[in-house]
């Protein structure tokens, strides 16, 4: 029996274009908003698409916080890409993490469980998104999980609900300090994700878990929202930020603005507040910390930058040309959270519209038509929920908060959840949570809580492998 990684599946001559008569090959990296919408926009094009994703699912990130707080299941916000694209005959979906892109050879190299695959392309769309940034303090990640993927959300769900369980045990032991530490939840980052997380943890403790314990009072839990900025939801403007902050405070959330996190450990978080001589460091005793601040673009941006000379901004986003291509490479498009262009925000609509634009350019080039000179983004507005029945929305010239904003948020999110099945079950789970007190997804497992730490302990050299399934 042969063991070890299989040799790279290298194409015979990857740098040559598809042979005469063969179809144009499009490789798309990433199965998020950019990758999926680019693929779908090429449905009727005369091309062969290879969609390569590090996961098997299309993740609807805006609802991750609802998985982390037990409202929705991971399946509802992350349907299998293969299922979503089952009727699209011109696409092959492959699981693999892309590590190399060779622009000269026109190949993409991906790895799955230690096995490499080299895929040639004629056109390339890179939509690998962004990860969490701890602003140079990566050691914080150990004790303050981010909110970027399903693993994060399940770990946080285990951590949040696990703290209530541990607090019940600590109360039985009569350890009041431990109870207080376990029932203090700190969310770092007062952008939409942080506000949504803080609001949902508050609702979880005050409504859902209120009657479920005998030795602790879940509604006595403290939820602290911390940010270095001077207002919550800075991107929504002062008025909506103010509405959101007042609502959070009414729900019992402690909002601490203008403070920088300078330390995170297993049992607490340290925040530097004030300025100059008056600055001081305050420690909050808390077992559960959530990191909802900062993004760092996919490292594939750096690979592309080295090969093209395109600049990178502080968050690792690559400076694309106005038509979303790279200097000297009109066949390569970069879309979504990876790009730096005209201060476009890292939101789903930028990825979706960029994906559709790049697909259109590929179709036009194949038809021998001139391509558009520049991508133009149409801002459809932004929204953030604070609690059930309360949200803020900024749409065109209009800024509003409260119930109407929440209904709008509900409708828009339902439209963008992929698949009828997911929409239906999401609606049911929302009814359970928002009209009643329940949450359908309260199961937690040891693996959810400890898997990341166990993998970290194995070290960076560790290559996960399944038993070799090939015959010798
Ligand atoms: C918690 C949270 C809440 C948000 N809320 C909102 C909101 O309310 N409204 C809004 O408009 N936006 C929101 N956003 C932002 C929005 O989700 C992103 O802007 C959008 O997902 C960007 O799309 P993308 O395709 O660029 O990246 P992503 O959707 O992140 O997709 C990237 C894909 O690439 C894959 N990938 C990464 N690296 C590799 C690799 N090396 N090889 C292969 N595949 C790879 C990933 O697995 C993923 O499938 C939120 C984001 C988060 C994290």
Q: What is the pLDDT of residues 352-402, one digit of tens each?
A: 999 999 999 999 999 999 988 899 999 999 999 999 999 999 998 899 999
Stretch 394-415: mean pLDDT: 92
Distance of alpha carbon 191 from its chain centroid, rounded? 14
pLDDT of residue 51: 98
Fold of 138-293+388-435: FAD/NAD(P)-binding domain (3.50.50)
Report the atom number in ligand 1 closest to the C-alpha of 96: 43
Report the atom number in ligand 1 closest to the C-alpha of 148: 53
pLDDT of residue 228: 95
Ligand 1 within 6 A of CB of 98: yes
Residue among 76, 196, 203, 331 flagged as catalytic: 196
Taking only the tens place, the pLDDT of each residue in 80-138 is 999 999 999 999 999 999 999 999 999 999 999 889 999 999 999 999 999 999 999 99
Ligand 1 within 6 A of CB of 324: no
pLDDT of residue 124: 98
pLDDT of residue 296: 97
Residue ranges, comma separated, of all CATH 3.50.50.100 domains in the chain are 138-293+388-435
From the list 333, 320, 334, 338, the residue with the least C-alpha distance to 363 is 333
Token code pair at residue 43: 């449905």
* pLDDT over 60 (residue 29): yes
* pLDDT over 60 (residue 28): yes
Taking only the tens place, the pLDDT of each residue in 281-334 is 999 999 999 999 999 999 999 999 999 999 999 999 999 999 999 999 999 999
pLDDT of residue 372: 80
Rounded CA-CA distance 315/131 in Å is: 10
**Cα of 413 from ligand 1 centre, angstroms:** 15
Residues 6+ apart with CB under 8 A from 292: 146, 147, 187, 188, 189, 191, 193, 194, 197
Best residue among 345, 348, 349 to mutate for probing ligand 1, ranked by most atoms within 8 Å of CB: 348
Best residue among 61, 146, 418 to mutate for probing ligand 1, ranked by most atoms within 8 Å of CB: 61
Residues 6+ apart with CB under 8 A from 244: 195, 232, 233, 236, 384, 386, 392, 401
* pLDDT over 80 (residue 9): no
Question: Average per-residue pLDDT in the chain?
Answer: 92
Report the atom number in ligand 1 closest to the C-alpha of 295: 53
99, 231 in Cβ contact below 8 A?
A: no
Three-state SS for 71?
A: coil
Stretch 339-349: mean pLDDT: 96
From the list 367, 362, 318, 378, the residue with the least C-alpha distance to 28 is 362
* pLDDT over 80 (residue 14): no
**Cα of 359 from ligand 1 centre, angstroms:** 19
Residue ranges, comma separated, of all CATH 3.50.50.60 domains in the chain are 24-54+96-133+296-366
Ligand 1 within 6 A of CB of 418: no
* pLDDT over 80 (residue 420): no
pLDDT band at 469 (very low <50, low <70, confident <90, very high): low
pLDDT of residue 470: 65
Stretch 255-270: mean pLDDT: 96
Between residues 427 and 216, the one the model is more confident about:
216
196 classed as catalytic: yes
Stretch 410-435: mean pLDDT: 87
Smallest CA separation from ligand 1 atom 5, residue:
62
Token code pair at residue 136: 């140079």
pLDDT of residue 2: 31
pLDDT of residue 113: 85
Best residue among 27, 28, 32 to mutate for probing ligand 1, ranked by most atoms within 8 Å of CB: 32
Taking only the tens place, the pLDDT of each residue in 42-86 is 999 999 999 999 999 999 999 999 999 999 999 999 999 999 999
Fold of 24-54+96-133+296-366: FAD/NAD(P)-binding domain (3.50.50)
pLDDT of residue 472: 56
> What separation in angstroms does the CA of 326 have from each of 42, 98, 340?
21, 18, 12
**Cα of 164 from ligand 1 centre, angstroms:** 30
Q: The whole model's pTM is what?
A: 0.92
pLDDT band at 40 (very low <50, low <70, confident <90, very high): very high
| Maximum separation of any 2 CA atoms in the chain, in Å | 78
pLDDT of residue 200: 97
Rounded CA-CA distance 42/29 in Å is: 14
**Cα of 410 from ligand 1 centre, angstroms:** 20
**Cα of 131 from ligand 1 centre, angstroms:** 8
Q: Are strands 123-126 and 24-29 parallel, antiparallel or unpaired?
A: parallel
């Amino acid at each position: 029996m042969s063991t070890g990684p299989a040799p790279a599946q290298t194409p015979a001559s990857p740098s040559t274009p598809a042979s005469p008569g063969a179809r144009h090959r499009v490789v798309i990296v990433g199965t998020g908003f950019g990758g999926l919408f680019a693929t779908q926009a090429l449905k009727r094009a005369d091309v062969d698409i290879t969609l390569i994703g590090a996961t098997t699912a299309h993740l609807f990130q805006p609802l991750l916080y609802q998985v982390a707080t037990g409202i929705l299941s991971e399946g509802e916000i992350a349907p299998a890409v293969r299922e979503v694209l089952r009727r699209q005959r011109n696409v092959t979906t492959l699981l693999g993490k892309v590590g190399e892109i060779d622009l000269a050879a026109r190949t993409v190299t991906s790895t799955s469980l230690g096995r490499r695959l080299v895929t040639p392309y004629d056109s390339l769309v890179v939509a690998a998104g962004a990860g969490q940034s701890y602003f140079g303090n990566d050691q914080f990640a150990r004790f303050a999980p981010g909110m970027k993927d399903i693993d994060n959300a399940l770990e946080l769900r285990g951590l949040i609900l696990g703290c209530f369980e541990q607090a019940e045990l600590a109360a039985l032991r009569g350890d009041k300090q431990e109870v207080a530490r376990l029932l203090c939840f700190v969310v770092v980052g007062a952008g939409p994700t942080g506000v949504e997380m803080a609001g949902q943890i508050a609702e979880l403790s005050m409504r859902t878990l209120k009657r479920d314990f005998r030795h602790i009072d879940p509604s006595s839990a403290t939820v602290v929202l911390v940010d270095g900025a001077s207002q919550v939801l800075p991107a929504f403007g002062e008025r909506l930020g103010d509405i959101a902050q007042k609502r959070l405070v009414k729900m019992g959330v402690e909002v601490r603005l203008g403070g920088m996190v300078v330390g995170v450990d297993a049992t607490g978080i340290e925040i530097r507040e004030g300025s100059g001589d008056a600055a001081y460091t305050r420690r909050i005793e808390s077992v559960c910390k959530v990191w909802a601040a900062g993004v760092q673009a996919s490292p594939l941006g750096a690979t592309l930058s080295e090969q093209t000379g395109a600049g990178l901004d502080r968050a690792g986003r690559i400076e694309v040309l106005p038509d979303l291509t790279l200097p000297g490479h009109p066949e390569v498009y970069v879309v979504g959270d990876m790009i730096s262009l005209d201060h476009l925000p890292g939101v789903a609509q930028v990825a979706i519209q960029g994906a559709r634009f790049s697909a259109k350019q590929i179709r036009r080039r194949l038809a021998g038509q001139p391509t558009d000179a520049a991508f133009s983004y149409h801002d459809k507005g932004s929204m953030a929920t604070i609690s059930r029945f309360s949200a803020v929305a900024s749409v065109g010239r209009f800024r509003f908060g409260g119930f109407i904003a929440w209904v709008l948020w509900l409708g828009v999110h339902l439209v963008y959840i992929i698949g009828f099945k997911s929409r239906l079950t999401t609606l049911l789970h929302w009814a359970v949570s928002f009209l009643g007190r329940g949450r359908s997804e309260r199961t937690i497992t040891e693996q959810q809580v400890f898997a990341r730490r166990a993998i970290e302990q194995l070290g960076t050299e560790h290559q996960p492998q399944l038993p070799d399934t090939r015959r010798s």
